Copies of this chain bind each other. A is one copy, B any other.
């Protein structure tokens, strides 16, 4: 694996599969990780077929972390803490951690966000990812269903936050390589609760407007 490759922990889930294909189409070398290396390899092959790419490979989560510079966490939030704790020995200096999780809870009145003592999934996970590893939040509001329709233009924004300006800029640059996706810098980790809440909100909107592909675009700021 190249040091510059992008790895997805839990990349066989819906959000991971969609991001893997979009990133592969943008030219990145992408590693899809799973607890089962077998399953990861099978998924990678199927994603390459679907996306018309050859640069997606599959491996166990630990191997994916060890071999990637940018590590995206795309597991369901319920298993995020356990997954990251189990992999923490592999987060060596020079890597960037990108949190894509959202602590959704589905209630009668509509989706909402699990209350966490730190106020957000990202702030919660920041305490678990080794301190020296820059922590960035990104891609949280993009619907998995849309990402997986690899020939549908995204035509939207993704909100990127983090305390390490340099790592944030690198992740924004990765996002910018995905056609018609605009990364928008929303500041430090304090933005996490707002971005995560927007995921709950857009699922509510999808229900009301009978869509599965609603996403956000900022009008009137930037291009």
Say if the beta carbon of A38 comes within 8 Å of chain B: no
Say if the beta carbon of A150 comes within 8 Å of chain B: no
Q: How large is the interface on A (under 10, 10 to 19, 20 to 34, 35 or more residues)?
A: 35 or more
State the number of copies, please. 2
Tell me whether A187 and B218 are in contact (CB under 8 A). Answer: no
Given A187-B110, A190-B109, A221 contacting B195 (CB threshold 8 A)? no
A window 73-119: CB within 8 A of B: 107, 109-110, 112-113
Given A185-B208, A186-B204, A110 contacting B216 (CB threshold 8 A)? no
Tell me whether A184 and B197 are in contact (CB under 8 A). Answer: no
Closest beta carbon of chain B to A140's beta carbon, Å: 12
Contacts from A to B (Cβ < 8 Å): 107, 109-110, 112-113, 146, 155-156, 159, 184-188, 190-191, 193-195, 197-198, 200-202, 204-211, 213-222
